[in-house]
Amino acid sequence: MALNLEQKKAVVSEIAVVAQDAHSLVAAEYRGSSVDLMTAMRADARKTGVYLKVAKNTLVRRAVEGTDYECVQEALVGPLLYAFSQEDPGCAARLIKAHAKDNDKLDVKFVSIGGEMLPGSDLARLASLPTKDQAISQLMSVMKAPVEKFVRTLAEPHAKLTRTIAAIKDQKAA
């Protein structure tokens, strides 16, 4: 269905707003995918905070001008599905990677993060990035590790003395 000028402007502005706030972009060719698989992917995208859009490449080129994703303008060729990560940098990559296992027609063309375009083969690397909660958990464990080690070091002489006394007691009892 052809879009009139107002509809095209609306699509461009919608994608531009999403691209301004997005953490990363994954573009995949979906040619030959079934409607059921695409519907399932859209449902999962809504649950995981991923903006999923199929749009004309010329409209997406205009929408990403002036954003971190301006670097992908030359690679917008063919029927592409655009997945913008809204929650954390890896959520779009995890979504596409999970659905690419079930759908062999879903072919990742490129990923973009931090103003840099990477080949589709880097999808697994982007998908392995931790979520916000995982990153906070890792940071907290790194921050509390020195304190825990210090407390264990302080407690070790007393524990060793207790083990020694218990060993002597067991030896005398035998």
Burial bucket for residue 45 (CB in 10 Å: 0-12, 13-18, 19+): buried
108 sits in the region (left: phi over 0; alpha: psi -120 to 50; else beta) called beta
Q: Model pTM?
A: 0.74
Check if the beta carbon of residue 32 is closer than 8 Å to that of residue 68.
Answer: no
**32 backbone dihedrals φ, ψ, rounded to 5°:** 90, 0
Q: Which pLDDT value is given to residue 140?
A: 92
Report domain extents, the chain.
5-129, 131-174
Element (H, E) at 135: helix 132-173
Q: What residue ranges of the chain have pLDDT lower than 70?
A: 1
pLDDT the model gives residue 129: 83
The third-level CATH classification (topology) of the domain covering 5-129 is Alpha-Beta Plaits (3.30.70)
Which pLDDT belongs to residue 1? 58
Please state, in angstroms and as integers, the Cα–Cα distance from residue 87 to each residue in 51, 59, 103, 130, 134, following that order: 10, 24, 24, 11, 13
Q: What pLDDT is attached to residue 165?
A: 92
